[in-house]
């Protein structure tokens, strides 16, 4: 349905926003032995024509059965759809699952302060996560979950076309760059992802637990701002 709307040149779904259960053709299928054993394969990359269409496509996703049946809602992303800079986190936590927006909890508050120190507001950048669903008990995403969600992340990035991505923490950095190198080794320099400059730094939740790492994180942000042509500090 989304694809035929897009083909017909319809860019916007009617407002007010539809709840996922109204957008999607079906509620998550209950697990049976038959459905649990069937591996659904994600496409290489979503063909959604706009971020709004992609948001609705994601809201209906059931590729990860456990996540689809435990989430309150999917968490798509927020900010300027034409931002030069995207911040990439790991996955929604409890606050984000409840509010439907990334980085709104305690880590998000610290992120807002880091942005402010860079003369940026949340509206100036785009904030998104590797996973669009909250993993139960905030466990790390599994390999299959990140693979399932990857076609959405890649499509989001194709539509936003950022010049820079700041990966927050090891999970985001290792996922995006497809590496097992530690965040300590990945930080402090620029990487390339499909022509996008990528800076990796510590996750704000890690900085809350390890305040001594804030100096390194601030050095990373200064490097990023310098490279963007808007130096700070």
Buried b (16+ CB within 10 A) or exposed e, 59-71: bbbbbbbebbeeb
Asked if residue 13 lies in contact with residue 64, where contact means CB atoms within 8 angstroms, the answer is no
- Helix (H) or strand (E) run with residue 44 in it: none
134 binds ligand URA, rule: CB under 6 A: no
Rounded CA separation 117/216 (Å): 14
107 binds ligand URA (CB under 6 A): yes
Residue of the chain from 20, 79, 162, 169 that contacts ligand URA (CB under 6 A): 169
Closer to ligand URA at the Cβ: 92 or 162?
92
Stretch that binds ligand URA, among 10-18, 20-28, 60-68, 90-98 (CB under 6 A): 90-98
Which alpha helices (DSSP H) does 44-118 contain, by range? 51-59, 65-70, 94-99, 106-117
Nearer to ligand URA, 2 or 167 (CB): 167
HSE (side-chain half, CA atoms, 13 Å) at 70: 14
CB of 33 to ligand URA, least distance (A): 33
Scan residues 36-65 and list those touching ligand URA (CB under 6 A). none
> Is residue 90 at the binding interface for ligand URA, with CB under 6 A as the rule?
yes
Site string for ligand URA, 178-217 (x = CB under 6 A): -----x------------------xx-xx-----------
Report the distance separating Cα 150 and Cα 68, nearest Å. 16
CB-CB contact of 39 with 72 (8 Å): no
Rounded to a whole number of angstroms, the minimum distance from the CB of residue 117 to ligand URA is 18
8 A C-beta contact, residue 113 and residue 192: no
Quick check: 103 binds ligand URA (CB under 6 A)? yes
Cis peptide before 161 (omega within 30 of 0): no
CB of 24 to ligand URA, least distance (A): 22
In the set 56, 96, 97, 220, which binds ligand URA (CB under 6 A)? 96
Residues 154, 123: Cα–Cα separation, whole Å: 21
Beta 85-89 vs 126-129: how paired, if at all?
parallel
What residue ranges in 18-176 does DSSP mark as E strands?
A: 78-79, 85-89, 126-129, 164-168
In this chain, which of 61, 85, 170, 176 binds ligand URA, going by CB under 6 A?
A: 170
Task: Count the residues of the shown chain that bind ligand URA, applying the rule CB under 6 A.
Answer: 18
Would you give the binding string for ligand URA spanning residues 9-38, x where CB under 6 A is met? ------------------------------
Residues of this chain that interact with ligand URA (CB under 6 A) are: 89-93, 96, 102-103, 107, 129, 169-171, 183, 202-203, 205-206
């Amino acid at each position: 349905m989304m694809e035929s709307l897009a083909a017909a040149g319809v860019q916007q779904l009617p407002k007010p926003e539809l709840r996922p259960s109204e957008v999607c053709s079906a509620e998550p299928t209950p697990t049976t032995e038959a459905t649990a054993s069937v591996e659904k394969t994600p496409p290489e990359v979503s063909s959604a024509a706009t971020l709004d269409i992609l948001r609705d496509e994601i809201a209906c996703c059931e590729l990860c059965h456990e996540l689809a049946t435990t989430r309150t809602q999917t968490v798509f992303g927020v900010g300027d759809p034409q931002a030069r800079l995207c911040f990439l986190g790991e996955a929604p936590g409890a606050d984000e699952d409840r509010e439907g927006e990334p980085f709104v909890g305690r880590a998000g508050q610290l992120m807002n302060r880091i942005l402010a120190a860079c003369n940026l507001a949340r509206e100036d950048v785009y904030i998104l996560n590797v996973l669009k669903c909250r993993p139960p008990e905030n466990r790390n995403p599994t390999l299959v979950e990140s693979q399932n969600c990857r076609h959405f992340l890649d499509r989001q990035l194709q539509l936003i076309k950022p010049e820079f991505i700041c990966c927050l923490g090891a999970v985001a950095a290792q996922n995006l760059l497809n590496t097992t190198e530690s965040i300590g080794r990945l930080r402090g320099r620029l990487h390339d992802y499909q022509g996008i400059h990528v800076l990796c730094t510590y996750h704000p939740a890690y900085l809350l637990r390890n305040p001594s790492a804030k100096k390194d994180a601030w050095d990373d942000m200064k490097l990023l701002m310098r490279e963007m042509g808007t130096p700070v500090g």
